[in-house]
Amino acid sequence: MKRLPADVLLDRKVEAIIADGYPLPSWGWPTPATYNGATGAERIYVWQKNNIAWRLDWLPRKQTCSVCEARPAEQQHGELYFRPFAIMPACRSCHARIHRRFGSPQRWQGFTGDLAPDNWARLLLTEQIERLDAIRIAAEPDWLAALNAFREARRAIR
């Protein structure tokens, strides 16, 4: 039997303590927009689960940004909210760029062109992923490989 990825195991662990009554942190901002098929409410729930894992020290701290590989990572980026703990450490600047890429694809492509060829951020699409595609990608053991295959399939169609 294949072992589940660590992020999936962590998600199950957090879901279990929530089911046992662990309180969800309060979200104090307006409901966010849909992102890669996940509704604002789903995004809030993922934030709550991540917040719980941080509080319980189940996530690593003091990492370097996985995008620029230079600055401290104060934040985490989750591309697929259907895979709550498939998160990548990011500095504030790179995290903001990731979220702005849909509005400025050429700028994003220029930025990622300067990254290492194997940097995960180069796999990110400049248009949002439909819900069912995001769910399917998130269900794969290696979500980055699945995202890359999806990206390549989209390129072949165009």
37 contacts 130 by C-beta, under 8 angstroms: yes
Residue 129 has pLDDT above 90, yes or no: yes
- Tell me which residue of 51, 44, 38 sits closest to 138, measured CA to CA: 38
76 contacts 89 by C-beta, under 8 angstroms: yes
Six-digit token string for 149: 């295959």
pLDDT tens for each residue of 81-98:
999 999 999 999 999 999
Would strands 72-73 and 63-64 be described as parallel, antiparallel, or unpaired? antiparallel
Average of per-residue pLDDT across 53-79: 95
pLDDT at 158: 72
Residue 9 has pLDDT above 90, yes or no: yes
| Residue 144: its H or E element | helix 143-157
Average of per-residue pLDDT across 84-113: 96
Residue 112 has pLDDT above 80, yes or no: yes
119 contacts 112 by C-beta, under 8 angstroms: yes
pLDDT at 117: 95
pLDDT at 2: 79
Q: How confident is the model at residue 5 (pLDDT cuts 50, 70, 90)?
A: very high
pLDDT tens for each residue of 136-158:
999 999 999 999 999 999 989 87
pLDDT at 61: 85
94 contacts 101 by C-beta, under 8 angstroms: no
Average of per-residue pLDDT across 30-45: 97
Which residue in this structure is represented by tokens 């990110």? 124
The three-state DSSP-derived secondary structure of 52-116 is HHHHCCCCCCCEECCCCCCCEECEEEECCCCCCCCEEEECHHHHHHHHHCCCCHHHHHHHHHCCC
Residue 100 has pLDDT above 90, yes or no: yes
Residues of the chain above pLDDT 70, percent: 99
